[in-house]
Structure 1
Amino acid sequence: MYANLDWLTHTRESAYLPMENIPHQDHPEENSYLCFQRTPSLRRKWRKRYGGLDGNKLLEPNTEDDSTENGSVNEPHQDRNFPQTQSPESLVQARATTVNPSLKSQNAVQPQMPIKFVTPGSIGKRGSCDIAPVGSPMVTNGRPGKVGPQREQAGNPTPFWHSFNRLDPQQAKRKGTADVLFESFASEGRVNTSRLFEAIWRSGIRKTDPRIIDCHLLMTKLQAADGTVNRDAFHRSTTGFVSFIVKALQGRFIIPDFPTFTEETQKLFLKTKQLDPVKQGPGNEGSWKWGVSICTVDGQRLSLGDCMEPFLLEALSWPFVYGMAVDQLGVDYVHRYVGVEEFSKYDSPFTLTKQGMPHSPLIVTGAIITASLLQLPARVEAEEEKYDSVLNTFRRLCNKEHTNLNCTSYQNLKKESVRLHSLSFYLQEKKCFPESVDINAAVDLIQQCSSTEVTCESGAVMAATLANGGLCPLSGDQVLSPSSARAMLSMMQVAGMNDYSRLFHFKTSVPAKSSKSGSLLVAVPGVLGIMCWSPELDAFANSWKAVHFCEELVSTFQLHSFDIRTPFRQVVAYRQWKAESEGYQIMNILLAAYRGDVQSLRRYFLSGVDMNAVDYDGRSALHIAASQGQTEAAKFLIENAGASISVRDRWGTTPLQDAVRSNHSHMVQMLQKSEG
């Protein structure tokens, strides 16, 4: 992950430096001897603690105590001190003593010239940069350079891990969530409302979302002429919405990286739109229309193409009628009158199972039976019309978005209802209906449900409600019981795609239901719901564009039930890994600073991650942002996240010195202004 980043692979030239190349030496007579300046590499300890840089080991931090080979436990940070390295003469002497112990006494009495070791000096005044005189050699942090800290010849240096201050946990607890949220966006004591809500919209939440619309309207009303609000107005506007806003900014939705998900989905949408049908099917008028809408179980929305074009539910209403019957009467009672088999392979609908009932509630005969079950007087109020109750449930499923009865289509369907009446008479002859039900009312209810008009957006919310166990993600209304939603999804999985059900299940393993209007409803349990619409049908009477799009989407984002999901696979990972180790968090913070990704930095800051955390070279996120010239990221780290400007890496370098060395003038000015 870090292999291609300069700020992780750069090494300091800290090997062997001759005495004559080091300025201000106190013993010029010792120039003939070599002295050594070595800075210990902390990669070994860092990898031992956090599990290395490869694979899933980062997700399992090593909590064992650091111990030596003989079992003794080291003090904290003991091995981070800069050790004094032996000279070549002492190394030769040690080897000779090992080979011939008799040389030990001879070498012990021989006088030796004292070896002076050059140790990393302590840094002078914070942020000061000394320029070497022309013609004089200078070493900056163990390597030649123009700018660097002053080095002292005596005394032990202050380790870099003592040069930054961590946030007091007790002080952090005293801060409220609203205060932390305010400080993460504040600039000079005020918050820009457009910046705040743009960050929220990037997570997939819309302005019309009922969970945030009141907060948005109130803050817009209280903002000043420059579009900012103070702390009091911010607290007043966000009261009751803080937890939702923080959840959106922390990326704790089912799709944490929604911009990447949107980009990849748009590519699939355009690719599908440009495809030509292999085989024409019936009813291909208006084939140029193509719309897709997606809604997750957390209410994240994405709509593409002709998503606002209304179309009829038709056969898509049958699983919902079945779910309402199960919710009111129970699954055991409903399946006394209708079977649970896969899609019937018989050409004629005038066929029943061996038990004398329709094969499935998702075929026309099964839909008539389930519609008749909704008429039982013990479950429906007498003064309420049957369809009004069903339509009210439809609207609750989609949070009262576009869902209406198309009266013109309903009247046309009534004129052509001979087939439905003949099937109802056949079922009546076979005694498939329960007692005391009105068969004509059941047929009329099916016609009204089939004539219900929706759009891709409202249909996607209905699918997301099914994927969320009957709980609408936008309103929080438990429309259907979880057992009813489970029964609906199970039937959609085995009989929802007509004769293509088995093959679609093999490729995607997700429940789906199609209709001859060109619509396709897909529910990925616990993740999202999809509604696609294209009037162009294939030989199975399914929308071939919708089928192709859903199959590609499942393959791209690993939505198949038997996919092994891991964040290190070369695919777009849609799930959030909730158990990130400390080492993995440090890697992500430094990578976000390298890219200038303020959104990711804010997400980790709101999650309580220490923004002064360092890697094995002691470099913090501010070091990385300063060396790469990421001004916005550095500004956020200093002003909002409280990052320390005086933090030093293991070479004693501050972020200001990194900015000067990299010739980022704007970064230097900002850091100097922050220090002053």
Structure 2
Amino acid sequence: MDHVLSKLSSGKGLFSEVEDILFYTITEGQKQVPVSHFISALKRTGLNVSDPRLKDCMDKLQRSVSESFHDVMMDRELFHKCVGGSIVLLIQAFRKKFIIPEFDSFVSKIDQIYNTVQKNHNGHQSTFLTWPSSVLISGVCPCVQWTDRGGYNLPVYSGRTEVGTTSLWTDRGGYNLPVDGQRWVQPPCGRTEVGTTSLWTDRGGYNLPVDGQRHSVGDTKQPFCLQSCVKPLEYAVAIHEAGTEKVHRYVGMEPSGLKFNMLYLDEEDKPHNPMVNAGAIVISSLIKPGSNKAEKFDYMMDFIKKMAGREYVGFSNTTFQSEKETGDRNFAIGYYLKEKKCFPTGAEMIDALDFYFQLCSIEVTCESGSVMAATLAHGGICPITGERVLCAEAVRNTLSLMHSCGMYDFSGEMAFHVGLPAKSGVSGAVLLVVPNVMGVMCWSPPLDRVGNSVRGIHFCQELVSSFNFHNYDNLRHLVKKQDPRRQDGDDRNKSVVSLMFAAYSGDVSAVRRFALSLMDMELKDYDSRTALHVAAGEGHVDVVRFLTDACKVNPFLKDRWGNIPLDDAMQFGHSAVVKVLQDYQAACQEQERLPMADTIPLKLETVEGMV
């Protein structure tokens, strides 16, 4: 199919042929299916109807639904009409070529983790921020849904104003978004997102793989402030704009070992790193130097919106005013930095603090936050728009510092137990990045003693316990965890193909390597033929001798046509192989008559024969 994809632009006929194959794959051979069947099939791959890459397809489909007075059935003609511009993406999805091919089983496990973590009621509300009372009364807003004729689930919306635009309407549902842009919807009751993940106090989470697949659990459309989760984003923008050398003239790159809001600098009189308050305040003075406050804020908002794939990014003026009124510690840090001449020439300390407070007051949802995390996981390219937002250098530096310094005083334990870049905020958010796989945004306000979300940390730990996402999980012989990047049967299929081709070509060295790696040397292909069948049919006597003398394979296994390896050797006239197999069969029959104790030396003999 790959060679077909590479030629899709060569002619209408080939387009039509590929679309037909895709149509009959989705409809399972039927001539027409309800539109809802197509939508459900999309969601099972992790794609969502709101994915920007599917906009043209969904717009045409929606018009067809709205123009009909009857239940709309998708036939071949309607399918061709709708999917033309999205054919490559859809083929990737239905061929399971996204980063997480078995998406259904993956999100099922994510839901299990969410349900486990939701039972954790430890933690306390942040003491670093003064919240308005309306925020403290935090129930889960229900989502009432109805279904139209085309099978779309449409939530009843409640309004939300977004900075820089008119009014953005958001529901209170939840979904996860993997890096492939896939999305899966579930009623609200907490949040965990893969790709960008949001975690909850009965809020939720969102996952977004690098291919744009999506999955969410809980109240993933509820806005919350980024707080310290904005620090890696701010740092990444500064590196993207000014470069590593200039930025690190003013801020270090070492963990401080102290609380995030301490009045303390390193031995060079620089903030230890950009993930503590002192470092973030200095970084805010490096973004768009010489611009006024409004220009700097608009620039940063536009950058963050690009990282979020133009999904919801807002601003909480209430939080901003609260930060300024109660930020005595940050003002003290600012004056200390000014005393030590930590700011670049021409920078105003009060302006830098004001900008820092604004950035901490930027609002996202678990959904938009997970896209930001997935953009970092995808090397700076937004997975749902395809736009390069950050340079590779900025992403690498940011993830390195998130890994070593991103979780306050818990950073060392996080690196040890989870082994992934992450950043937390006192709003209860945890932004987690699985490089080259997905981004996750979790949101749950109850915090532990160092200011991290209790449930957010718990979710990250459970995620790494279930999947081999820890940086060092792939060390040989260390752990056995699920790898969601592998398709079911991938390992076995590759083993069968490799073994059969080695036997076919007479490559006895390769066959020895497979045996030493403890591969099952009696693996069968779709015709029930073993490597011994193939080697015997091709007349490769060295391979046959190794399989019989060293591996002790069964010479009596029959293929689809009832033939054993000896039959194939005789049919094609390979007399040397016939002699080896006849002798081996006689030895096997004799061995069956020996007591069990006499068979033990054969185990040692097998190992010695492989060397």
Q: Deviations over 1:557-578 (max 9, x none)?
A: 1111111389xx9643301367
- Per the normalisation by structure 2, the TM-score is 0.64
Residue 609 of structure 1 is matched in structure 2 by: none
Q: 1:349 aligns with which of 238, 241, 262?
A: 262
Q: Distance in 1 between matches of 2:293 and 2:353?
A: 20
**Contact 2:51/2:384 (CA < 8 Å) preserved in 1?**
yes
Change (3 A) 1:583 1:485: closer
Please say which of residues 509-518 and 214-223 is displaced more in the overlay.
214-223
- In the aligned structure 1, how far is the partner of 2:263 from the partner of 2:15? 71
Q: Which has the higher helix share?
A: 2
Letter matched to residue 236 of structure 1: K
Q: 1:232 to 1:376 in 2, by over 3 A?
A: same
**Cα distance per residue 1:295-341 (max 9 Å; x no partner):** 11111111112322221111111111111111100011100000001
How many angstroms apart in 2 are the aligned matches of 1:413 and 1:514?
18
- Structure 2 distance, partners of 1:383, 1:423, is 20
- Which residue of structure 1 lines up, in the alignment, with residue 19 of structure 2? 178
Which structure's relative contact order is higher, taking Cα pairs within 8 Å and 6+ residues apart? 1
1:505-553 CA distances to partner (integer Å, 9 max, x unpaired)?
0011100111111111111111111111111111121111110111110
Question: Equivalences for 1:42-61 in 2 at 5 Å?
Answer: none
Taking the aligned partners of 1:583 and 1:573, their CA distance within structure 2 comes to 17
Asked if residue 501 in structure 1 is aligned to residue 408 in structure 2, the reply is no
Equivalent residues of 1:252, 1:576 under 8 A apart? no
State the shift of 1:281 in Å. 7.2
Give the 3 Å change call, closer, same or farther, for CA 585–531 of structure 1 in structure 2.
Answer: farther
Residue of structure 1 equivalent to 2:561: 650
For the residues of structure 1 that align with 2:17 and 2:492, how far apart are their CA atoms? 24
Question: 3-state DSSP class of the match of 1:385?
Answer: helix
Corresponding residue number in structure 2 for 1:410: 320
Structure 2: tracts of 5 or more residues without a match: 1-12, 129-135, 139-199, 499-524, 531-558, 564-611
Equivalent residue for 1:300, pick from 198, 213, 234: 213
2:340 equivalent among 413, 430, 442: 430
1:237 has 2:82 as partner: yes
**Secondary structure, counterpart of 2:484 in structure 1:** coil
User: How much does 1:242 deviate?
Assistant: 0.7
**Residue in 2 that maps onto 1:487:** 397
Measured against aligned partners, the alpha-carbon deviations of 1:581-625 in whole angstroms (never above 9, x if no partner) come to 477599xxxxxxxxxxxxxxxxxxxxxxxxxx943189xxxxxxx
Partner SS, residue 85 of structure 2: coil
Task: Give the drift of 1:177.
Answer: 1.8
Distance in 2 (alpha carbons) for counterparts of 1:576 and 1:511: 22
| Structure 1 pair 226–291 and aligned structure 2 pair: CA distance change class (3 A) | closer
Which AA in structure 2 matches 1:303? S
- Correspondence 1:406-555 to 2 at 5 A: 406-555=316-465
State the TM-score, normalizing by the size of structure 1: 0.58
Q: Which amino acid aligns with 1:351?
A: Y
Tell me by how many angstroms 1:649 deviates: 5.7
> Measured at CA, do residues 202 and 348 of structure 1 come closer, stay the same or move farther in structure 2, by a change above 3 Å?
closer
CA contact (8 A) 2:422 2:430 kept: yes
**Aligned pairs (5 A) from 1:389-400:** 389-400=299-310
1:346 to 1:206, Cα distance in 2 relative to 1, 3 A: closer
Identity level (%): 33
1:404 and 1:453 in contact (8 A); partners too: yes
Q: Residue 219 and residue 346 in structure 1: after superposition, are their counterparts in 2 closer, same or farther (change >3 A)?
A: closer
Distance 1:496 1:582, change over 3 A: closer
What is the match of residue 201 of structure 1?
43
Displacement of 1:274? 1.2
Output the CA distance in 2 between the equivalents of 1:421 and 1:348.
Answer: 11
Aligned-partner SS, 2:285: helix
Q: CA 1:570–1:502 in 2, change beyond 3 Å: closer, same or farther?
A: closer
Spell out, residue by residue over 1:348-390, the C-alpha distance to the aligned partner (whole angstroms, 9 max, x if none). Answer: 722211111111111111111100011423xx6x796111111
- The match for 2:54 among 200, 209, 212 is 212
Cα distance in structure 1, aligned partners of 2:322 and 2:55: 40
What CA distance in whole angstroms lies between the structure 2 residues aligned with 1:189 and 1:219?
Answer: 18
Structure 1 residues 384 and 265, CA gap change in structure 2 (3 angstroms): same
Amino acid at match of 2:357: Q
Relative to structure 1, the CA distance from residue 485 to residue 583 in structure 2 (aligned partners, 3 Å threshold; closer, same or farther) is closer
1:365 equivalent in alignment to 2:310: no
Alpha-carbon separation, structure 2, partners of 1:505 and 1:428: 33
Which residue of structure 1 lines up, in the alignment, with residue 572 of structure 2? none
Please tell me whether the aligned partners of residues 323 and 484 of structure 1 are also in contact (alpha carbons under 8 angstroms). Answer: yes
RMSD: 3.3
Whether the aligned pair in 1 keeps the contact of 2:466 and 2:481 (CA below 8 Å) is yes
Matched, 1:317 2:158: no
Counterpart of 2:91 (choices 239, 246, 249) is: 246
Give the distance between the partners of 1:188 and 1:259, measured in 2 at CA. 23
Structure 1 position 255 matched with structure 2 position 100 = yes
Q: 2:468 aligns with which of 543, 549, 558?
A: 558
Deviations 1:393-443 (A, max 9, x none): 111111122211111111222222333233222211111111112222111
Report the AA paired with residue 266 of structure 1. Answer: D
CA, structure 1 residues 333+415, in 2 after alignment: closer, same or farther (shift >3 Å)? same
C-alpha separation between the residues in 2 aligned to 1:370 and 1:319? Answer: 10
Counterparts of 2:444 and 2:259, CA distance in 1: 27
Counterpart CA distance in 2 for 1:450 and 1:542 is 16
Q: 1:603-622 alignment to 2 at 5 Å?
A: 614-616=526-528
Q: Name the counterpart of 1:227.
A: 72
Q: Aligned runs of 1:53-72 on 2, under 5 Å? A: none
Q: Secondary structure at the residue paired with 1:336?
A: coil
- In structure 2, distance between residues paired with 1:198 and 1:221: 19
- Choose the corresponding residue for 1:289, options 192, 202, 213: 202
SS in structure 2 of the partner of residue 650 of structure 1: coil
**Cα contact 1:185–1:191 (8 A) shared by 2:** no
Partners in 1 of 2:480 and 2:473 — Cα distance? Answer: 13
Matched-pair contact (CA < 8 Å) for 1:344–1:359: no
What number of residue pairs does the alignment pair up?
Answer: 423
* Inter-partner Cα distance in structure 2 for 1:359 and 1:582: 48
Match in the other structure for 2:483: 573
Q: CA deviation at 1:221?
A: 3.2
Structure 1 residues 330 and 313 mapped into 2: Cα distance closer, same or farther (>3 Å)? Answer: same
Letter in 2 for 1:274: K
Name the CA shift for 1:505/1:188 in 2 (closer, same or farther; >3 Å). Answer: closer
Q: Is 1:328 paired with 2:241? A: yes
Q: Structure 2: how far apart are the matches of 1:461 and 1:431?
A: 37
* 1: CA distance, partners of 2:403 / 2:485: 23
**Which residues in structure 2 correspond to 1:7-156 (within 5 Å)?**
none
Q: 1:565 to 1:196 in 2, by over 3 A?
A: farther
Name the SS for the 1:294 alignment partner. Answer: strand
- Equivalents in 2 of 1:188, 1:260: separation in Å? 26
Q: For 1:330 and 1:534, locate their aligned partners in 2 and report how far apart those are by CA, in whole Å.
A: 34
Deviation at 1:650, TM superposition (A): 3.3
Provide, for residues 50-107 of structure 1, a one-character-per-residue CA deviation record: whole Å limited to 9, x for no partner. xxxxxxxxxxxxxxxxxxxxxxxxxxxxxxxxxxxxxxxxxxxxxxxxxxxxxxxxxx
Structure with the greater alpha carbon radius of gyration: 1
